[in-house]
Chain A
Amino acid sequence: MALALEGSQALARTIALCRPQVVAAYPITPQTHIVEGIAKLVADGALDCEMVSVESEHSAASVALGAAVAGSRAYTASASQGILLMAEVLFDIAGLRIPLVMTCANRALSGPLNIWNDQQDSMAVRDAGWIQLYCATNQEAIDTTVQAFRIAERCELPVMVCVDGFTLTHTLEPLDLPSAEQVDGFLPAYRFRHGLDPADPRSLGTLVAPEHFSEVRHAHHQALMRAQTEIEQADSDWAAVVGRHCGGLLEVRGDPQARLGILTLGSVLGTLEDAMDNDPSLPRARFIKLRSYRPFPARALREACAGLDTLIVLERALSPGAGGIVGPEVQTAVIGMEAPPRVHNFAAGLGGRDLSLDLYQRLVDAVLNEARPEGFAIIDADPSLLPEADR
């Protein structure tokens, strides 16, 4: 039965169901309600877990790392500046192939200061070697979190569950929480092959010289590529338990016959779907919900793009001086198709700018009704607000 829950509260309860043994976090908006929720569950005795309230995100990631190698299921959560502060540790966790799960409550990066939602933070660490799964709804965030622990532990890779800050974390809606039996049946007890144990002493994180380093990276890359199977498997196995899919690597929605495609990551999808369905006069679109950004599912993407003339890649982040981040990767992936779609790349909703229903029409107009060359633009920016020289 659906409960009326704020996204963060639902996530806190879901994480507790996954029985983490150590949780370490440093508060940052909009992640706070998640860790506050976990802290309360620990305080109430509902979760047997060491809750370590650290002095920085750098230490949050480090404590989780230490706990995971010492044989405990570990979890952390952060956002924005916190993700950047823990960045070197994130790379280290992934490079050492340590399985743990973190929630990124997606938020813009400074400067200037902005506490609202976009996805610049997780995009900034896309090359850290973590699995990154983006959630379109709070229900997906719940189900993805449970799956993330199994994926992490089976693949020996860390998983970042990306949940749009505020838009999801602070929204109350009807949500289905799994039962403890469902989660326990899906998620075996934590076990890490390379853990630290005095009975079998090993050295982790040693100095690896040029004659071995490329092989380490190759193995890491291959592990991420192979993780695609596990991500799909976890989703279908979990669907068999709770009757809900999250879309595996990506999900095709909307009008499957449409020649226009729109690829999104995260929570903007529902607004676009609603906008299209509410107005039959608008051109139809096929939506591609990219759930797994790392590993990047190039093959699945090509299949999803079959028959498209035009593909809009809509992002909540950008690479200043180049353009989009996901867009060029999609472009590269579709080049291998017999008839690749023209790829248009837009950013929108930066720093929490509201993405309203008319976004759909703006996107469609921009690529169908204007003679716009393929390229990149922040579609909801208003350059007229800027001094002449900055337009």
Chain B
Amino acid sequence: MNEQPLQSLDALRARQPRFRGLESGHRACQGCGEALAARLATEAAGPDVVIANATGCLEVFTTPWPQSAWRLPWIHSVFGNVAAVAAGMEAALKQQGRATQVLAFAGDGGTFDIGFQALSGMMERGHNVLFICFDNEAYMNTGVQRSGSTPHAAMTTTSPPGAVRMGKRHMKKDILSIIAAHHIPYAATASVAYPSDLRNKVRRAMDTEGASFLQIHSPCPLGWGHDGSLTIEVARLAVQTGLFPIIEMERGELIGTLPIRDPKPVSEYLKLQNRFRHLFADAYRARKELEHLQAIANRNIERFELRGVGIEKYDTEGADTVHRGGDRWA
């Protein structure tokens, strides 16, 4: 057997044992949270899957014809129907008696908004599909317009701050509560800042019979206005501040959370992003909106009992640490 020299990155990649469903060489922006999330998710899902992908960045940057970055069977149909396409694939595979599993990929637009009806129908009918929402909190593919997932007060091109506005006037839709109301076997949130947790949840969802849902917080350097090198940092702060709670639900009941060891003020998260820049102006309304966002984070921490009780092995600080003896969460 010819041993390749290990100096080359390609050779190193070829030797690493992980399955890669999404290959490098795609056209995502530097620091794209969604590309990372999709790579982690397909890595955990393994090769025996078929993917339906809604319209969005993920579709566009992975498949400029005649190229494709997918090593998995993959289809894109239209924007709002990904859950239904996945349901159709699942029905077909079931009828054929095949074990191949079905993944549905959508951004927050394809999940919270235009794709919501199909998603609700798919869950209600209990198709054995894992629906993954890559939540980057706006319509990034069309140039950063507000979505039902855009956080309160965030700037987008359709929720610009101005003399009489402070960014998005409405709240971020509490999608997980709506999903939970469908009483599906498994629903969870995850963040690209906690990849072991993310992979674990994908595996758990795929081991679950029936519809499952995973919302992955995926920073968008372009849309959020942060440096591409800060993607993980920004994502982690969203969790550490309580603005993006990491939780798990079974049949609509909360079964687990990622505890926050030491909650950080929301301003630490917000100040890294241009989309919240207007909140740091020396103005009364800016201060009130900052207080409002802090209150939202506090409320999340209270509601899901996110505050840790000291140093825990698997909390916001320890979850992705390799511990002595090789012990790691996943």
Contact = CB atoms under 8 A, between A and B. Distances in A.
Interface of A: 21-22, 24, 48-50, 52-56, 58-72, 74, 88-89, 92, 96, 196-198, 200-209, 212
29 contacts: A49-B95, A52-B91, A54-B125, A58-B81, A58-B118, A59-B121, A60-B84, A62-B87, A63-B84, A66-B52, A66-B84, A66-B90, A69-B75, A70-B93, A71-B92, A72-B95, A92-B77, A198-B47, A200-B73, A201-B71, A205-B59, A205-B63, A205-B75, A206-B59, A206-B64, A206-B68, A206-B76, A209-B65, A212-B65
Contacts of A206: 59, 63-66, 68, 76
Contacts of B52: 66
B202 interface: no
Contacts of A67: 88-89, 91-92
B70 interface: yes
A207 B91 contact: no
Contact of B74 (A21, A22, A203): A203
A287 B61 CA distance: 54
Nearest to B63: A206
Contacts of B81: 58-59, 61-62, 65, 89
Among A52, A70, A74, A204, the one with the most B-chain Cβ atoms within 10 Å of its Cβ is A70
Among B81, B91, B120, the one with the most A-chain Cβ atoms within 10 Å of its Cβ is B91
A344 B47 CA distance: 61
Please name the 4 residue pairs, one residue from A and one from B, whose CB atoms are nearest each other, closest first: A66-B88, A55-B121, A62-B84, A206-B63
Among B59, B75, B95, the one with the most A-chain Cβ atoms within 10 Å of its Cβ is B75
Contacts of A196: 50, 73-75, 89
B43 to A, nearest CB: 15
Interface of B: 47-50, 52, 59-60, 62-66, 68, 70-78, 80-81, 83-96, 100, 117-118, 120-121, 124-125
B84 A21 contact: no
B100 A198 contact: yes
Given A22-B91, A59-B121, A66-B52, A205 B76 contact: yes
A207 B64 contact: yes
A62 B89 contact: no
B121 A62 contact: no
Given A56-B117, A72-B95, A203-B63, A64 B124 contact: no
A58 B94 CA distance: 22
Nearest to B94: A50
A321 to B, nearest CB: 28
Given A54-B84, A198-B49, A205-B77, A66 B118 contact: no
A63 B91 contact: yes
Given A50-B95, A205-B76, A207-B65, A74 B88 contact: yes
Given A196-B50, A212-B65, A50 B118 contact: no
Contacts of B90: 66, 70
A198 B63 CA distance: 17
A38 B199 CA distance: 41
Given A59-B121, A63-B87, A70 B92 contact: yes
Contacts of B125: 52-54
A64 B84 CA distance: 9
B124 to A, nearest CB: 7
B223 to A, nearest CB: 19
A201 B84 CA distance: 21
A64 B74 contact: no
B268 to A, nearest CB: 37
A67 B92 CA distance: 5
Contacts of B49: 198
B66 to A, nearest CB: 8
B73 A22 contact: no
